Amino acid sequence: MPLSNVNPDAYSALLAEKVARVEALLSPYSPPTPLVIESSPTAFRMRAEFRMWHEGDDLDYVMFRKGDRKTPVAIESFPIACKNIQSLMPKLQSSLKNNTQLRKKLFQVEFLSTLAGDTLITLIYHRKLDEEWDEQALLLASELKVQIVGRSRKQKRILDREYVEESLPINSKDYYYRQYEQAFTQPNGHVNIRMIEWACECATGLDGDLLELYCGNGNFTLPLAEHFSQVIATELSKTSIRAARENLKSNAVENIQMIRLSAEEVTQAMRGERTFRRLAELPQPLTDYNLKTVFVDPPRAGLDSETEKMVATFDSIIYISCNPETLAGNLEFLSTSHRIEKFALFDQFPYTDHMECGVLLVKN
């Protein structure tokens, strides 16, 4: 997103245009009027990454315009980043600029922060990192009061820890999350809270057990578990399922089973087409659960056709989508068996065309 697009005075008008586009796209499936969750116009992103540009003694954060990967655009301020990242950017730049060991062949910098105030910085290099780098990076981490991870080809150096700690107040209860470096996390912290609360509102009054696909680090899983007897949450990423299990333990939630399976594998297991040793971790056979609701938060490609058919067998489907186009494609099939009971739009990415959507589908 070009920073020239960032115009807080125009935010409401730009959001209204996005809402109108998504409503028109999904209108064939007769959704109700959407609940629209706005973002803060500035200081909303909890993640940011920049190429580092070396020019003599200068060292700048840069980005590139779409279609032009050769002309760097120096970033002197980044108003869409959260206040922690905005505060750290000039301090880090100054420290790196004056440290030969840390700036040598530095290629990219990535920031990951939390609403709880914890921040991790990843420094990525085109060279091998050694003990001298460790020593200087430790001093920098202490100076900035952050975690630092170093990366280069086939190398990762963790000085203390490779994650940040987050605390989210969901419906007056705090949930604690470990978020790993370079693993997926929701980029807009405050909008994420509203998304989770909306999903919990959809779950209120539903009975039976919940199946969740693409559970990530348990972002939605933990609060949703309060609304169901048992939850089976699945995720393919090793890092994400590791975080989800750690978050399950730290929140002392006892009715969730975390299983490392892809959506395709879950579909095969639900149909009885394959057996998976990982399902032996469940305290009872999969078929013994009273799975009446499914929660999905798929990648931009949406649900594949076989997963579509599997989720269509559930009484209720809570679907969070990061891509209205693929959501519309999935609804073309799902609307033959389900109707849209609730509809929400979450502006995770102000000043872009992206819009996060939520629909609650109930079987006809």
Among 215, 322, 332, 357, the one annotated catalytic: 322
User: Is 1's pLDDT higher than 70?
Assistant: no
Among 200, 265, 356, 357, the one annotated catalytic: 356
Structural domain spans, the chain: 3-41+188-363, 47-164
- Worst-scoring range by mean pLDDT, 119-133, 248-262, 269-283, 285-299? 269-283
- What is the spatial distance between Cα 360 and Cα 295, in angstroms, rounded to a whole number? 9
Across 259-285, average pLDDT: 92
User: Is 2's pLDDT higher than 70?
Assistant: no
User: Is 200's pLDDT higher than 80?
Assistant: yes
What is the tens place of the pLDDT at every residue in 297-310?
999 999 999 999 99
What is the tens place of the pLDDT at every residue in 52-96?
999 999 999 999 988 888 889 999 999 999 999 999 999 999 999
> What's the pLDDT at 100?
95
- What is the spatial distance between Cα 360 and Cα 202, in angstroms, rounded to a whole number? 7
Active site residue 181: no
Instruction: For domain 3-41+188-363, give the CATH number.
Output: 3.40.50.150
Active site residue 322: yes
Across 322-327, average pLDDT: 97
Contact by Cβ (8 Å): 244, 218: yes
What is the tens place of the pLDDT at every residue in 147-170?
999 999 999 999 999 999 999 999
Q: 2.40.128.120, 2.40.50.1070, 2.20.25.90, 3.60.60.10: which CATH number matches 47-164?
A: 2.40.50.1070
Query: What's the chain's average pLDDT?
Result: 96
Parallel, antiparallel or unpaired: strands 338-346 and 35-37: parallel
- What is the spatial distance between Cα 94 and Cα 98, in angstroms, rounded to a whole number? 6
